[in-house]
Structure 1
Amino acid sequence: MIYNIVLANPANNITIIVLDCIDKENYSDIANRILKNSKFGAEQVGFVKKPIMDGKLRLEMMGGEFCGNALRSFGMMVAKNNEIEKGVVTVEISGSDKSLNVEVDNINKSAKAEVPLPKEIEYVRIDELLEFPVVMFDGIYHAIVEGIEANEENFSYIKNSIMKRYNIEALGIMFFDRERYFITPVVYVRDTDTTVFENSCGSGTIATALYLSDGCTDSVFKCSINQPGGVIDSEIYKSEGRVTKLVIGGKVELSEVIKIEI
């Protein structure tokens, strides 16, 4: 089969956007075949669909998860297709029960987006030494882990403990180095049974920023989180100690439409 795709590059978190109309039951098979194509070095796959709310278009990720980098990339693509150089577009994405605004600058190749607030932040202890916060978004949970090496063994140990506790579509573990303000994002998607050591992670960035903003009560907490593929900026808005708004932003590059056969 031949498919039409756009290759998105938000901080090297390579995201394939499939433009053809694909039935949901085929997402996993097609996504896995695309991810195995080393030509692209893709870390995730999303499928364009008709909107079901009030967005211009909808993007459904391969496992029904939420993804902040894919959201920014998709907003930029929609803006480009509608010949919007600078402005705001409203789109939909899996893992969010409302449409979301993406502020696009196609001239300078950047996009920022407001992301949904987490349902909860819960501290989890999985052994005598290891306790960490889990930031619970619809569509994906993120654990922020300090002082632990980012490797497959540690990831599997933490992932298996968390997945036994929660019924979730996707889990990210952000291995955080506070001295460098650096995360190594590792993301597991249940439906495709894929684990990726990602170059960057948008929702993982904002989860880490939330963790770092503890103690900030009535202001905007801004930080830039370094990761293997680049930098993602974040903004945490708080009022009376409550989080009221979350924003991530940074560079995004898009390819023209590419035809692939898989």
Structure 2
Amino acid sequence: MKQEIDFIKCNPTQNMTILVRTDHAAEHYSGIASSLMSYDHVYAEQVGFIKRSRRQEAAARLEMAGGEFCGNACMALAAHMASEIGLEKQGSMKIKLDVSGTDDLIVCHVKRQEHRYDCRVTMPVPQQIERRMITFEAMELEMVIVRYAEFIHIVIEVQDLDDLMKQRAQHLARLLGITMGDTMIGILLYDPVTKEMTPLIYVPKLDSLIWERGCGSGTASVGAYLAWHRQSEVTQSIKQPGGAIMVTAQWNAEGVNDITIEGTVEIVACGTAFIDTSLEQSRSIVEV
């Protein structure tokens, strides 16, 4: 049986994102997302579902397929909504979103350029940041844990990133997915010299393990880590395989208290996708 899916495909820093406009029950999110994300289908790194929010102050609700939070998907939805209302060139607007993975309303400032939308998005603030040394796969590994209410990011400073380190990151992500119970695990390999980040995102509910081209929430976590480490406000452009995302993390005596990221979104496709609802597909590791 074929099911029709009304979708938009967006490009926030090459973190290719599919937004589903048709209404579906949450128990079908995983199967729909696995089909849409696959190489032989629409193909993307993540899928979000646009819903009506029960919070009056929010313009819409965004539910990611694995229940995780995603900053780039917030930018994508804000750009789509600006496009839908016909925002004029150089026009700007503010959109509040209700998003899975956080209880905070996400505020998106959108400005339309010729063929893209510039977005600035408020991000969840970590509940805790701590440095920890562990022994993992016969090596001493120093990492910084950036913990949120429903997800966790691990920042590991690296130089000369090689395949062995990437393999270890994959193993660590899966291990944490089994033991931590979070909706999303991010392993952020960060080079403090070049200011480059290579993000690995694992969503246990979907068994989706992807080296992303760009990661908004990971950018926010690196910004939070830098502010925590320096104990001062940080504004930093974080280079990633798909481009750069700007982060600003505010700092006061109580710690990191405000984070925003800035990036660009292009709407690259929209239309109807067809999936076989009788097939249950699983998502395995994808190297991008």
* TM-score bucket (shorter structure): over 0.9
Q: Alignment partner of 1:208: what SS? A: helix
Q: 1:164 to 1:42 in 2, by over 3 A?
A: closer
Q: Show the counterpart of 1:8.
A: 10
**What TM-score does the superposition give when structure 2 sets the normalisation length?**
0.85
RMSD over equivalenced CA pairs, Å: 1.9
Query: Distance in 2 between the 1:238 and 1:208 partners?
Result: 14
Q: CA deviation at 1:138?
A: 3.0
Q: Show the counterpart of 1:80.
A: 83
Q: Show the counterpart of 1:137.
A: 148
Structure 1 window deviating more from structure 2 (194-203 vs 105-114): it is 105-114
Q: Show the counterpart of 1:110.
A: 118
Structure 1 window deviating more from structure 2 (2-11 vs 144-153): it is 144-153
Query: Distance in 2 between the 1:215 and 1:194 partners?
Result: 31
Whichever residue aligns with residue 21 of structure 2, its letter is L
1:162 to 169, 176, 180: 176
Q: Structure 1 unaligned segments of length 5 or more: list them.
A: none
Q: Alignment partner of 2:228: what SS? A: coil
Q: 1:52 to 1:215 in 2, by over 3 A?
A: same
Would you say 1:255 and 2:268 are equivalent positions? yes
Show CA shifts across 1:75-112 (max 9, x none): 12122223333111111110111321100012252101
| C-alpha contact 1:19 1:47 (8 A) present in aligned 2 | yes
Q: Alignment partner of 1:114: what SS? A: strand
Query: Distance in 1 between the 2:33 and 2:149 partners?
Result: 21
1:24 to 1, 16, 26: 26
Q: Alignment partner of 1:97: what SS? A: coil
| C-alpha contact 1:9 1:15 (8 A) present in aligned 2 | yes
Q: Show the counterpart of 1:183.
A: 197
| C-alpha contact 2:203 2:209 (8 A) present in aligned 1 | yes
Query: Distance in 2 between the 1:196 and 1:63 partners?
Result: 13
Would you say 1:95 and 2:101 are equivalent positions? yes
| C-alpha contact 1:182 1:226 (8 A) present in aligned 2 | yes
1:61 to 42, 64, 77: 64
Instruction: Tell which structure's C-alpha radius of gyration is larger.
Output: 2
Q: Alignment partner of 1:252: what SS? A: strand
Whichever residue aligns with residue 221 of structure 1, its letter is V
Structure 1 window deviating more from structure 2 (76-85 vs 61-70): it is 76-85
Q: Alignment partner of 1:168: what SS? A: coil
% same residue: 28
Query: Distance in 2 between the 1:45 and 1:245 partners?
Result: 27
Show CA shifts across 1:15-47 (max 9, x none): 000000010000000000011144644000000
Query: Distance in 1 between the 2:228 and 2:166 partners?
Result: 29
Whichever residue aligns with residue 76 of structure 1, its letter is A
Q: 1:86 to 1:10 in 2, by over 3 A?
A: same
Q: CA deviation at 1:221?
A: 1.3
Q: CA deviation at 1:59?
A: 0.7
Would you say 1:224 and 2:256 are equivalent positions? no
Q: Structure 2 unaligned segments of length 5 or more: list them.
A: 276-288
Q: 1:138 to 1:106 in 2, by over 3 A?
A: farther
Structure 1 window deviating more from structure 2 (251-260 vs 42-51): it is 251-260
Q: 1:155 to 1:222 in 2, by over 3 A?
A: same
Q: Show the counterpart of 2:283.
A: none
| C-alpha contact 1:94 1:139 (8 A) present in aligned 2 | no
1:200 to 214, 235, 245: 214
Matched length: 261
Whichever residue aligns with residue 176 of structure 2, its letter is I
Whichever residue aligns with residue 156 of structure 1, its letter is Q
**What TM-score does the superposition give when structure 1 sets the normalisation length?**
0.92
Would you say 1:153 and 2:155 are equivalent positions? no
